[in-house]
Amino acid sequence: MKYFILIATLAFTKITTAQTSPEWNSAEILQGIKKLNTVGSVLYIAAHPDDENNRLLGYLAKEKNLRTGYLSLTRGDGGQNLIGKEQGEALGLIRTQELLAARRTDGAEQFFTRANDFGFSKNPEETFTIWEKEQLLADVVLTIRRFKPDVIICRFPTTGEGGHGHHTASAILALEAFDLAADPTKFPEQLNETQVWQAKRILWNTFNFGGNNTTAPDQLKLDVGTYNPLLGLSYGEVAADSRSMHKSQGFGSARQRGESIEYFKFLKGDPVEKDLFEGINTSWKRFSETARLDELISRCISEFNPQQPQYSLPVLELIYQSIQDVSGKNPDIRYWKTIKAAACQELILQCSGLWLEAYTSEFSAVPGNEISISAEIIMRNPGTVQLNSIDFPGNTSKNMNLQLTQNKPETINQKEILDKTTPYSAPYWLTEAHSIGMYTVKNTELIGSPENNNALKVVYHITVDSNNFSIDRPLVFKATDPVKGEVYRPFEILPPVTVSISDQVYVFNTTIPKEISFTVKANMPKVNGKLKIKVPAGWKIAIQNPEISLANKGDEQLVKATLTPEKNGKDGILQAAVTIDGTDYTKSITRIEYDHIPYQFFLTDAQAKIVFLDLKKTGNKIGYIPGAGDNIPACLMQIGYDVTLLTDELLAKEDLSIYSSIVTGIRAYNTNNRMPAYYDKLMAYVQQGGNLVVQYNTNNRIAPMETKIGPYPFTISRDRVTDDNAKVDFINPQHPVLNTPNIITQKDFEGWVQERGIYFATQLDEHYETVFSMHDPNEEPHKGSLIISKYGKGNFIYTGLVFFRELPAGIPGAYRLFVNLLSLPQNK
């Protein structure tokens, strides 16, 4: 008998759901049956996580029942982070999962290109000097060819009203790809797996936000504020729940109810007057040989019994067989046949009340080691289901021939040996070295996918009535947390050992040695080896006890080493490895855990940057008021400062005069609603001789600045300089901040990463002095990157310079300038 594999159609069309078997209630089943009767699709295209129109996506996916996708060019790696310290790749991983959580809410699917979000860009010309336009165009074309949208919608225009170079670039790419996807001479290598595709039309979803109203009365209008009684929600409520998943960006949203009008400007293709899908048949009557399906599915909808969903099985099975009987010669019919057959299979499982999952006894394993697997299956509705066999990782197939009994769970335990060639777990876009603008993905099948396909899975071969299915379930780890209850996390395939280094950057300003700690963790029992550390020329490393002996899986061994710079030492990379039986293991693991997304981790090389810089400093004791999250305190401790984190309790009770300087973390005034209460105390601290350094805060509709910060008025703007090589003019060269205790020169602005500064100060009171002038190409100079005011005996400083990026990156000039901010002398 032929088995049909139950997957989410193609790997490219997979909707990532929870890390276990999906469970639908009767309303969701009925919603799924309705969606079965729609054969239309729409693709929304923009640049970043959180650019998408969640209300529109939810309406199209759940009200119009269209196959709906969002193509985000990037994973948001270059943004800021409101919930933690993660930046770069780690932030991109968080924002990827936030997008997937949003899609689980609004019902759309998620796709990406290989673009790396390198930070804010002011125009598409700048963007395409860093992004490889032809590669990205290929990625967008590939998405269109695979997804086959009838309609494409851009979030932004090509004319710049979107305000961000990435935004404009996304529209440029979408408009070009609209034509190129239909041209067989363009990216012909893609046609080995897919076909050319011409969408009917492409439109721009105009907007009215950020003080920019691009809507117009003559544009196509669509009310997406509809109430869906099956959901018990309007799409304004769905949108709020979906958008609130973007927690790292501070996009928690209030639910809205009632009419909500979206506007669309026609760009190219078949003209449109009244409806996005004007002239497009989205029913099965679209194809002459599938017209009967429309009648069958309509019957299934009308006869559905929410109290007894299993009563729908006979007609669902008839629909399934009818779909399978459709000829696959026409590629367009073949496309919808594949998608709707998988959707119908899932509906059959849900109406049967089937639950299937596969989990391990431990959350990780090493290639070549044994794993214990539990495969569970239960049929909770009345029906006829037989478990024929189960395929386990390791190529073991277990014959079962088990007739399931209603509501009686069956658990099959199995031990397997992981193949020694099993690759380590890693997000596919992070497995290769990449440039500032582009990720490297060698497996072209993965391009566009939001995350990896499941490396290890269990396949259940079952018969529902007379229909045979093969159902994949990813191998996961399941446990019970005393607070959270049942929790799932991905099953991890790890090297025998990982090495973590206590800091990612070590900064020396003297030849005094520093102690460095290495934590070696066993991911399997009986690990015996030796820690090796490689340093650049001009540095000496002495390991106190390099021999590693770990008896049990999970054991850790702390190894300390002394790193000593010589006067001729060059900045470079310290590399760590553990040698076991002649093989070097060189990976460190980064773990990310937030309640709103699945558990995440990734492997990187076990290394740290080491820097020797010419640095003088005064003062020693620094108070640090945490903000949204940054690594500045650790960086200051690297150069010998005694840093105290000033909690609300300490700020309320502490005598602040013991600190030579106080620094506020990034967005402290946006994230700590107690800051206004400390204003008078902080101003008194400055007046009595302290230095208060305030790092950037935002002032916009998401995080308005509604409190006083400095002793005199100023405004936080959206001015920024995104060119990390932009020339910096010293407009106040005699100011102490450029001369005490370190003389700052142009050399100190070499090697900066991502940008110069953000959220500069404007509308300055006359008491403030400016120090620098800088600008991006073809722009007027900005003087608000660093402002300083004397106030009593002390100094108040506000800076938008991105020290939170530069210090963790080990940029020498950033350290020297930041130390000067902390070292400003008292006023007489």
CB of 631 closer than 8 Å to CB of 669: no
Q: Which residue has the tokens 């020329």?
A: 537
User: What tokens does 102 get?
Assistant: 């949003």
CB of 569 closer than 8 Å to CB of 560: no
CB of 688 closer than 8 Å to CB of 792: yes
CB of 324 closer than 8 Å to CB of 4: yes
CB of 630 closer than 8 Å to CB of 624: no
Please give the average per-residue pLDDT across 578-602, as a whole number: 95
pLDDT of residue 700: 67
pLDDT of residue 380: 95
Q: What confidence tier does 373 reach under pLDDT thresholds 50, 70, 90? A: very high
Residues 6+ apart with CB under 8 A from 47: 72, 73, 74, 155, 156, 164, 166, 167, 169, 170
- Dist CA 145 CA 43 (whole Å): 11
Residues 6+ apart with CB under 8 A from 71: 43, 44, 45, 46, 111, 112, 113, 140, 143, 448
Q: What confidence tier does 11 reach under pLDDT thresholds 50, 70, 90? A: very low
Is the bond preceding 741 in cis, omega lying within 30 degrees of 0?
A: yes
In the beta sheet, which residues pair with residue 411?
Answer: 376
C-alpha 686 chain-centroid distance: 40
HSE-CB at 284 with a 13 A cutoff on CA atoms is 21
- Dist CA 147 CA 261 (whole Å): 27
User: What tokens does 134 get?
Assistant: 């032809």
pLDDT of residue 503: 92
C-alpha 273 chain-centroid distance: 37
Largest CA distance in the chain: 93
In the beta sheet, which residues pair with residue 488?
Answer: 478
Q: Which candidate, 823, 799, 818, 820, places its Cα nearest to that of 807?
A: 818
Q: Average model confidence (pLDDT) for the chain? A: 93
HSE-CB at 25 with a 13 A cutoff on CA atoms is 4
- Dist CA 540 CA 520 (whole Å): 21
User: What tokens does 776 get?
Assistant: 């991006």
Q: What confidence tier does 14 reach under pLDDT thresholds 50, 70, 90? A: very low
pLDDT in tens, 796-807: 999 999 999 999
219 secondary structure, DSSP code: S
**How many angstroms separate the first and last alpha carbons of the chain?**
93
Q: Please give the single-letter amino acid code of residue 311.
A: Y
Q: Which residue has the tokens 């100060």?
A: 761
pLDDT of residue 703: 52
Length of the chain: 828
HSE-CB at 409 with a 13 A cutoff on CA atoms is 8
Q: Which residue has the tokens 């193609």?
A: 10
Q: Which candidate, 427, 451, 428, 456, places its Cα nearest to that of 359?
A: 456
Q: What confidence tier does 619 reach under pLDDT thresholds 50, 70, 90? A: confident
CB of 335 closer than 8 Å to CB of 148: yes
Q: Please give the single-letter amino acid code of residue 488.
A: Y
Q: What confidence tier does 705 reach under pLDDT thresholds 50, 70, 90? A: low
pLDDT in tens, 419-428: 999 999 999 9
Angstrom distances, CA of residue 13 to CA of 68, 373, 516, 796: 10, 28, 47, 54
In the beta sheet, which residues pair with residue 357?
Answer: 376
Residues 6+ apart with CB under 8 A from 67: 38, 40, 41, 42, 61, 109, 147, 339
Q: What confidence tier does 791 reach under pLDDT thresholds 50, 70, 90? A: very high
CB of 601 closer than 8 Å to CB of 590: yes
pLDDT of residue 328: 77
CB of 457 closer than 8 Å to CB of 357: no
407 secondary structure, DSSP code: T
Angstrom distances, CA of residue 777 to CA of 121, 163, 764, 781: 11, 16, 24, 10
Instruction: Kindly write down the DSSP assignment for every residue of 513-569, as one continuous string.
Output: -EEEEEEEEESSSSEEEEEEEE--TTEEEEES--EEEE-STT-EEEEEEEEEE-TTP
pLDDT of residue 699: 84
CB of 11 closer than 8 Å to CB of 448: no
pLDDT of residue 10: 34
- Dist CA 359 CA 491 (whole Å): 8
pLDDT of residue 704: 57
C-alpha 357 chain-centroid distance: 26
pLDDT in tens, 708-717: 999 999 999 9
Q: Is residue 384 predicted with pLDDT exceeding 90? A: yes
Query: Edge-to-edge strands of the sheet including 261-269?
Result: 109-112, 67-72, 41-46, 151-154, 201-206, 261-269, 220-223
pLDDT of residue 211: 77
Instruction: Kindly write down the DSSP assignment for every residue of 354-382, as one continuous string.
Output: EEEEEEESSSEE-TTSEEEEEEEEEE-SS
80 secondary structure, DSSP code: -
Higher pLDDT, 663 or 249: 663
Angstrom distances, CA of residue 192 to CA of 33, 146, 444: 33, 12, 11
pLDDT in tens, 445-475: 999 999 998 889 999 999 999 999 999 999 9
pLDDT of residue 4: 39
pLDDT in tens, 103-144: 999 999 999 999 999 998 989 999 999 999 999 999 999 999
What global pTM score does this model have? 0.90
Residue 92: CB atoms within 10 A of its CB come to 25
CB of 758 closer than 8 Å to CB of 802: yes
Please give the average per-residue pLDDT across 380-394, as a whole number: 94
Please give the average per-residue pLDDT across 512-533, as a whole number: 96
736 secondary structure, DSSP code: G
Phi, psi of 170, rounded to the nearest 5 degrees:
-60, -40
C-alpha 591 chain-centroid distance: 14
Please give the average per-residue pLDDT across 375-398, as a whole number: 94
- Dist CA 250 CA 705 (whole Å): 14
Q: Is residue 19 predicted with pLDDT exceeding 90? A: no
Higher pLDDT, 1 or 154: 154
CB of 645 closer than 8 Å to CB of 633: yes
User: What tokens does 278 get?
Assistant: 């004007």
User: What tokens does 75 get?
Assistant: 């994973």
